[in-house]
Amino acid sequence: MSGSAPGEQGNARAIGVFDSGLGGLTVVHELRRCLPRESIVYLGDTARVPYGTRSAATVVRYARGCARLLVQRNIKALVIACNTASAVALDILQAELDLPVIGVVGPGARAAVTAADQAEREQGRPVRIGVMGTLSTIRSGAYAREVARLSSRHEVHSQAAPLLVPLVEEGWLEGDVPRLAIERYLSTLLKPDVGVLVLGCTHYPLLKSMIAEVALRLLGRPIRVVDSAEATASAVHELLEQRAWHTPNPEAALQLLVTDLPDSFQASATRFLGDVVGSAQAVDIMPADG
Amino acid sequence: MSGSAPGEQGNARAIGVFDSGLGGLTVVHELRRCLPRESIVYLGDTARVPYGTRSAATVVRYARGCARLLVQRNIKALVIACNTASAVALDILQAELDLPVIGVVGPGARAAVTAADQAEREQGRPVRIGVMGTLSTIRSGAYAREVARLSSRHEVHSQAAPLLVPLVEEGWLEGDVPRLAIERYLSTLLKPDVGVLVLGCTHYPLLKSMIAEVALRLLGRPIRVVDSAEATASAVHELLEQRAWHTPNPEAALQLLVTDLPDSFQASATRFLGDVVGSAQAVDIMPADG
């Protein structure tokens, strides 16, 4: 993580957050809970969502375009609120940008290891970590790598669960269809020794209680569910503390930018943010990142 | 539909086909069945799929980029094998391009009216037409408009069914999850007088038998299911007949171009084409169309 000090008045600059679409607003929800006096500028690349089914090369190209647009808005730190982009583009953006860049995978993996350590102490036997995410996130192996870097105690099982994103986008959060889809994914993922489940996609928190309920039924005992949105907000909080970059900004604002503004924007954004959203501004990503 | 004659040797030129992703290969499957001696160059805009959830303005921009790339490949006719792009961009591309442009909505609507006329004669009572499609296709009202242009006898009921695309992409073509999702959509769409159901999305033919089965159970009688891929291939056949543009080409080939080449390409393309696919070439859409 690089980055020069933003200086006295730089503290009032906004935190930049981007995601492939609107799912990253679950991270904004946690950031606002944790840092209510910070301004946030959010970019949802709704013209090219989803990233999770695309090749790594294309995701890197798209992530660069999003980051560049936010940097031009004079942000003090950048949050990649997208597991797929964090998994494949975090290192690159950290190397290329002259400001702190935080992804969701690192904080999510740290929270998972902490939860697994605790479960292991309580249960007195090894505890594995299960990770659900998009195809690209799971294929990248980013969570397994990050967990291994932090601890050699916990093995990681992974399962791509691509259908959960469109289910959330469609607003089908209850009923048989999401429950059976979750059951189908979890019945592959959950072995008896999996004690912690990481929601490795910013869409999944909206299905959190149903995922916990299905896991309880399949395993016959409760499981710890780690939401990387919460963990990421804590990591940003820590960063601002360390650098004394907190802003006692009485006019903290949330600005929403999107690359495509569909009719369903308000309903969808409100669902992810857990709060009524105002209007969003449509922006173009620089052509070179097509 | 405009277009200058391609001249003697122009007959051997390929038919250009584009779709937001790989679903349009269901149209290519029908084209090859119907016109086995024609060369086809197919462009799947896999870096920006799906179009069905985006605004009309963005879909028009993307469709222009795809069309321009194919025109540069010296095609004799252009098929928009995507219901969403056909619904919102057909008129624009027909006006802008100097070659025949065929979409899937017109042929699909014609086939639906023919089927509804026949059902009405057999049943001796009015028959309505049901249309399932993506959000953008249904919002555009393109099928209802096209049916109204052809006949005043048949009312159109429409239902967006966005989840069926990711279900097909995930390869979940059997079992409870797709069946319950189809049931949820059809129970809203199907009224007692709906006698013809149009599959207004190139992904849906892979769920055709399950859709027919659920409709039978809900209505207590069979329903005519119209697949716009078949209807579109017939329309292209007719066009080539009219213009005497048929190619007795012993080396008819299928060339596949994609804007993103994910690991899952082979499996997915093979599923839609109903035949083993060779390799695909990754191409960039001109930056200005971002």
Q: Residue A286: what pLDDT?
A: 64
Q: Residues of A numbered 219-278 whose beta carbons fall under 8 angstroms of chain B's beta carbons: which are they?
A: 260-264
Helix (H) or strand (E) holding A195: strand A194-200
Please name the amino acid found at residue A20. Answer: S
Disruptive mutation site among B22, B168, B170, B258 for chain A (greatest number of A CBs within 10 Å): B170
**Chain centroid offset of residue B248 CA:** 26
> Which residues fall within 8 angstroms of residue B49, CB to CB, at 6 or more apart?
B20, B21, B22
Place of tokens 């249960």: A123
Per-residue pLDDT of chain B (290 residues; tens, 9 = 90+): 444 444 544 478 999 999 999 999 999 999 999 999 999 999 999 999 999 989 999 999 999 999 999 999 999 999 999 999 999 999 999 999 999 999 999 999 999 999 999 999 998 999 999 999 999 899 999 999 999 999 999 999 999 999 999 999 899 999 999 999 999 999 999 988 999 999 999 999 999 999 999 999 999 999 999 999 999 999 999 999 999 888 777 788 999 999 999 888 888 999 999 999 888 999 998 654 44
Q: Residue A81: what pLDDT?
A: 98
Give the distance from residue B136's alpha carbon to the nearest chain A alpha carbon, in angstroms. Answer: 9
Q: Residue B287: what pLDDT?
A: 54
Assess B84–A contact: CB distance below 8 Å, yes or no. no
Q: CB–CB of B54 and A284 under 8 A? A: no
Q: Write out the two tokens for B41.
A: 């160059």
| Torsion sign across C-alpha atoms A52, A53, A55, A60 | negative
Task: For residues B42 and B25, give the distance between their C-alpha atoms in angstroms, rounded to a whole number.
Answer: 8
CB nearest B58 (choices: A47, A55, A135):
A47
CB nearest A262 (choices: B46, B53, B167):
B53
Q: CB–CB of B176 and A172 under 8 A? A: no
DSSP state of A210: H
Give B-chain residues touching A58 at CB under 8 angstroms: 47, 260
Reference B6, options B245, B212, B227; nearest CA is B245
Q: Residue A192: what pLDDT?
A: 84
Residue A40 sits at φ, ψ, to 5 deg, of -130, 135
Q: CB–CB of A162 and B180 under 8 A? A: no
* Number of residues that this document lists for chain A: 290
Give B-chain residues touching A183 at CB under 8 angstroms: none
Q: CB–CB of A261 and B55 under 8 A? A: yes
Give A-chain residues touching B175 at CB under 8 angstroms: 184
Residue of B nearest to A57 (CA): B260
SS3 label, residue A199: strand
Give helix B25-34 / helix B228-243 axis angle, nearest 10°.
Answer: 50
Give B-chain residues touching A170 at CB under 8 angstroms: 162-163
Task: Tally DSSP H helices, then E strands, for chain B.
Answer: 11, 10
Q: Residue B108: what pLDDT?
A: 97
Q: Residue B278: what pLDDT?
A: 83
Q: CB–CB of A170 and B163 under 8 A? A: yes
Interface contacts A/B by beta carbons within 8 Å: 83
The one catalytic residue among A201, A215, A223, A240: A201
- 8 A C-beta contact, residue B230 and residue B35: no
Q: CB–CB of B262 and A54 under 8 A? A: yes
Residues in chain A with pLDDT < 70?
A: 1-10, 286-290
Q: Residue A169: what pLDDT?
A: 87
CB nearest A177 (choices: B170, B180, B284):
B180
Q: CB–CB of B47 and A54 under 8 A? A: yes
The one catalytic residue among B109, B189, B199, B201: B201
Residue of B nearest to A182 (CA): B177
Residue A105 sits at φ, ψ, to 5 deg, of -70, -50
Say whether B201 is catalytic. Answer: yes
Say whether B66 is catalytic. Answer: no
Give B-chain residues touching A184 at CB under 8 angstroms: 175, 177
> Which residues fall within 8 angstroms of residue A138, CB to CB, at 6 or more apart?
A131, A158, A159, A160, A200
CB nearest A55 (choices: B163, B172, B262):
B262
What ipTM describes this predicted complex? 0.85
Q: Residue A70: what pLDDT?
A: 98
CB nearest A58 (choices: B47, B58, B163):
B47
* Number of residues that this document lists for chain B: 290
